[in-house]
Structure 1
Amino acid sequence: MKSQTEVQNLIRKNFKDLSKYEVKKIQDFKRNDFVCEANVKLADELGVNESFYRTDFDKNGFTDLLIIGDDFSCYGGMDESCSFRPIVLLNFGNEKYKIVNISQNFDDYYTPKIVSKNGQNLLEIYRTRIKDWENKITYKNPQKQILAYKFDDFIEYNSNNQNYIPIQKIEFSTSGCYGTCPVFDLEINQNQDAKFIAKQFNFNKELETWSDKNEGTFQTKIKDKDFNTLIKLLAYIDFPQLENNYSVNWTDDQTVELKIIYSSGKIKTISDYGASGSYGLKKVYKLLFDLRQNQNWKKIDEK
């Protein structure tokens, strides 16, 4: 890939949901939006002035791309696009590709930059910190996160790869939202026995009528590979050090509650409105949501 047009055509050809994706520099987002304008200034300061960059994030020997662009999934006033969506295109050879979304939230403006640390290619994510919205004043130093490609996604980089945190039990529950967010409770203990209480919207993606009756209670033993991935991910993100509460800045979303009993009775509880507390937590939530569909659940009688 040598040109912006070649990269854009590759994305549109291989990914139907990105058929309108426009590859362009951060400086080409000329919107009457304070956060957008601040992000352009930040990109200039960081020297991020290209529409795509080459590297190898997963160390498979093929060139991956960090791409800046607009997927036209959002429209504002005067039919102007309000979407900003940098992505990473992973290359597996033989024209096999994967798109990884690196935005933490859907209305996220930030500047991504490739860095190398300890022999690994990483992503630095910079976000402008707003000090005064009315007078359009920002803090001097932006927020910075460092992300590594681990567990098939980009999550916060941890230089300590020897983390081990003995986990005795995981409890996970979700609330409803303005829509059909899956509502369920999930429990997994250290011998991989699990209980899944499906309440609403777990088995049908179509709009359903709300009912007070649960969809069922199920049990299984979590598959070794899925259980080990979950435990290793929780250790890698160093979950005891995370905040206890997270919240997005919009309404009508879902709240998830994660409770982990570990190290002979210690308890970590995380409440996350919007389920976007961190990159690592978003990956944990995805794995837990996926367990509803990728395990051999057996329905049990409800007492």
Structure 2
Amino acid sequence: MHHVTPPQSDGFSSPPVLQIDTLVHRFGDLVEYTTSIATPRFSRLEVSFGFDCCASFTITIHADRKLEYQVGYTSGSEYYLFNRERGKFQSELDSAQFEQLQQLFQYIKPDKLAKSYAVSWTDAGTAWLTAEYGNGKVVHIKDYGERATWGVSRLYELIARLRTQQRWYSVEHPYDVPVR
């Protein structure tokens, strides 16, 4: 049982409601239980992580398993200040990881998600999720606190891990040695 932002609200203006969850262990973590998966696969999935106004880094996954990683392109990028990493990078996701992300995306039913989520405390990170799927459907979610749902939180975690799990190549300086 936990408090959640009500669907169709704009974050802090609506009081949170108590929600009872039925959870199952799937995708390496706890996620909401669902009986059917009817969502089409994504053709493009993009998540930006940062603080309220500024994304520190963005990871984009394409249907052909190509990955894009952009770091430090917004003003006030805290990630760049601490890590001195900046630029545009690319990689390719292995088929097992890609399939896990596709299945998790389908499992969380993006059509049923609210457009905005927020936690009740301050100084939390923000995730911006954009997904293109099906016949031109697009979902945009702003998630202050990165706690939209159990399944969406797991999706964020798996995507954020790609920063250190992948071997990234610079797009701007293609002859450089890989970043990771």
- Shorter chain as normaliser: what TM range? 0.7 to 0.9
Q: Select the structure of larger CA radius of gyration.
A: 1
1:197 aligns with one of 49, 70, 92: 70
Q: Which residue number corresponds to residue 272 of structure 1?
A: 143
Q: Which runs of 5+ in 2 are unaligned?
A: 5-17, 174-180
Q: Which residue number corresponds to residue 56 of structure 2?
A: 183
Q: Which residue number corresponds to residue 151 of structure 1?
A: 27
Work out the number of aligned pairs and report it: 155
Q: Which residue number corresponds to residue 115 of structure 2?
A: 244
Task: Give the aligned residue type for 1:208.
Answer: F
Percent identity for Structure 1 against Structure 2 = 27
Q: Which residue number corresponds to residue 153 of structure 2?
A: 282
Between 285-294 and 182-191, the greater mean CA deviation after superposition: 182-191
The CA deviation string for residues 261-288 of structure 1, in whole angstroms up to 9 with x for no partner, is 1112111111100101111111000011
| RMSD across aligned positions (CA) | 2.6
2:82 aligns with one of 202, 208, 213: 208
> In the TM superposition, what is the alpha-carbon distance from 1:166 to its structure 2 partner?
2.5
Q: Which runs of 5+ in 1 are unaligned?
A: 1-125, 130-141
Structure with the larger RCO, 1 or 2 (CA within 8 Å, 6+ apart):
2
> In the TM superposition, what is the alpha-carbon distance from 1:202 to its structure 2 partner?
5.4
Residue 218 in 1 paired to residue 92 in 2? no
Paired residues of 1:174 and 1:255 also in contact (CA < 8 A): yes
1:228-239, aligned counterparts within 5 Å? 228-239=99-110
> In the TM superposition, what is the alpha-carbon distance from 1:127 to its structure 2 partner?
4.5
TM norm structure 1: 0.47
> In the TM superposition, what is the alpha-carbon distance from 1:197 to its structure 2 partner?
0.5
> In the TM superposition, what is the alpha-carbon distance from 1:254 to its structure 2 partner?
1.3
Q: Which residue number corresponds to residue 45 of structure 1?
A: none
Task: Give the aligned residue type for 1:165.
Answer: P
The CA deviation string for residues 79-112 of structure 1, in whole angstroms up to 9 with x for no partner, is xxxxxxxxxxxxxxxxxxxxxxxxxxxxxxxxxx
Q: Secondary structure at the match of 1:170?
A: strand
> In the TM superposition, what is the alpha-carbon distance from 1:201 to its structure 2 partner?
5.9
> In the TM superposition, what is the alpha-carbon distance from 1:195 to its structure 2 partner?
0.9
Taking the aligned partners of 2:153 and 2:111, their CA distance within structure 1 comes to 16
